[in-house]
Structure 1
Amino acid sequence: MPMLDREEYIEQLYFFQTLRERIKASIATQEVLERIDQEILSTTKLPMAIQFLATEIKQSGLLSTGFKLLSHYFTPFQAFIIKSTEDENRKFSIDTGLNVLEKMAKYNADSPSPSGLFVFQFEILSRNKLGYDEGVTAMANDPLYSQSWKEFILFVSKQIGLVEFAEFVYLRSEYYLEVERRQDPSYEPPLQPLFASKEGQIAKANLGRDPFFLFAALQRQLNYPEVPRSTEKETAKDEITVVRQRVNDLEIRLKLIEAEVKGNVDLAFFAKPEILQNLRKDDGFAD
């Protein structure tokens, strides 16, 4: 999938922010999705995507299912983040997950760079202990990355634990090339640099140190996007919010079951929204 238009990311930012705030206010995800599409700019594809999410969550009870199916609109990494919030074995709340997607949408709307997005996404995986195998694979399929970046990201996933993160950045930077050419002016690297000279200098200064120091330095010095953090107090509140959210969603699903038992269930409730029917496949919403 190609990068979306800037207006799509601006509306995504509003969507993720508003969804997060309303879930915190103990409004069921399903209820939010059924209404919020009316607030989104109609010239974007996001209202159709939201209607699709609303339909899928009725059927599966999971928000991540819709994100995964809409692979022509939402990126694999966005789908991975939402899926991670639904994994009970990970302490990764829906509040934090939506906050991450909100910050990522904001960054994508403001002239993003592959290096900035890479460091941002990698820190998300590291800080929240989301695992590297599935997470890094999802990263590599982001439309902002060229083929060279995808190959580099997949290489990093295989070397995690053997090579420190700062070394990856330093060795693939223009600064490393500058250092080598001081000794040998004819030196040509086997792979072209992906990071600028300044990133390489900062990475070299952080060799042998905690990678979070490198993340923080890049944010201070080069305005790289900052990853949202959860304090212990916020995490406790989030767990209460998740419980309330699940109770609300269960109540809605129980009403559907009761209606089905009584023979009063409206099958249109599960139908694909009318606006999503008869769409061209290149729109990214057709079956």
Structure 2
Amino acid sequence: MLDREEHVEQAHFFGRLAERTTLGMSTQELLGMVREEALSTTKLPLAIDFLTGELKLNGVFHPAMAKLSHYFTPFQTFVIGEAESDVGRFDMMLALQILAREAQYRAQGATEQGIFLYEFESLARNRLGYDRGLKAIGGDPMFNQDWRDWIAIVRHQVGLVDFADLIYVRSEHYARRHPTADDEQPRAVLFGEGEGRIALANRGKDPLLLFNALHRHLGYPEVPRPQKPDASPQLLPQLARRLEKIEARMKLVEEELKGGIDITDFYVDPQKPPSGENPQ
């Protein structure tokens, strides 16, 4: 478990990388810039040096994050690995934004419930794969053995059992409504009354509706979403092309009003080579 200042620096690290990926600079240069901003009293500068060395050797830095398992969680390594994958479509900027918000939440005092729901929502919204993703989530040292056992159950039952049911049966709301018999082994209660009530109300619905309700009522952090591309840089060229077409049509209308269109203007001289080609 890291100190609060380490999480604050991690949030700054991932956030600054996400902001500067649009500058057209290499990742190695971006790491060097962010390193200058990191507090020297934390372990982040050493971690950035190790990531930079791995990047120079292999062109990616998620293997270095895996080796620094005492500093980066398995989920952080998994997310960066998916963004660096050649076969996936997961954007690196979005991956960095997800990790920045998670680190910020940890610095504010995260709970096991909040971390699990945030990371699971990240898998669901970005289609990152539940099997390896839940395995990475379960490797977080924040979770005790009861949590790890339940995450393993979710890993094998997700897609077969409604996710809202998986939360509901491990909540205080369910335990209060269905007391355990004397001869039954009590199951660990992992979620509170509020999570249980919201899960019960969203049974059989899209899990994204469940996540939205948890954000509204319990204040859990929202997962960043892909941003629509900015079309403003292409707006002026598009308007210019449309004006050219309008001017050409107006010219034809004026010629027709003056007495007709001279179609000879559109004839092509067979002896003249097309534009862009050199005469033989």
What's the TM-score, normalizing by structure 2?
0.79
Partner of 2:34: 36
Deviation, structure 1 residue 88:
2.9
Q: Deviations over 1:52-110 (max 9, x none)?
A: 11111000100212211211111111000000001232221000000000011001101
Partner of 1:158: 156
Q: Deviations over 1:195-245 (max 9, x none)?
A: 0011100100000111101000001100011001114537xx9xxxxxxxx
Partner of 2:222: 226
Residue 129 (str. 1) matches residue 118 (str. 2)? no
Partner of 2:212: 216
Q: Sequence identity of aligned pairs in percent?
A: 45
Partner of 1:112: 110
Report the secondary structure of 1:233's partner residue.
Answer: coil
| Equivalent-residue separation in structure 2 for 1:49 and 1:11 (angstroms) | 11
| Equivalent-residue separation in structure 1 for 2:132 and 2:228 (angstroms) | 26
Contact 1:136 1:157 in 2 (8 A): yes
Partner of 2:88: 90
| Equivalent-residue separation in structure 1 for 2:199 and 2:205 (angstroms) | 10
Contact 1:175 1:197 in 2 (8 A): yes
More relative contact order, 1 or 2 (CA 8 Å, 6+ apart): 1
| Equivalent-residue separation in structure 2 for 1:113 and 1:187 (angstroms) | 32
Residue 190 (str. 1) matches residue 171 (str. 2)? no
| Equivalent-residue separation in structure 1 for 2:130 and 2:90 (angstroms) | 15
Q: Which runs of 5+ in 2 are unaligned?
A: 234-280
Partner of 1:205: 201
| Equivalent-residue separation in structure 1 for 2:227 and 2:184 (angstroms) | 46
Contact 1:177 1:189 in 2 (8 A): no
- Pairing of 1:1-287 with structure 2 (within 5 A): 3-181=1-179, 190-233=186-229
Letter in 1 for 2:99: L
| Equivalent-residue separation in structure 1 for 2:203 and 2:183 (angstroms) | 23
Structure index of larger Rg? 2
Partner of 2:253: none
What's the TM-score, normalizing by structure 1?
0.77
Letter in 1 for 2:135: T
Letter in 2 for 1:87: S
Deviation, structure 1 residue 189:
5.9
Report the secondary structure of 2:159's partner residue.
Answer: coil
Query: What RMSD over aligned residues (CA atoms) do the two structures have, in Å?
Result: 1.7
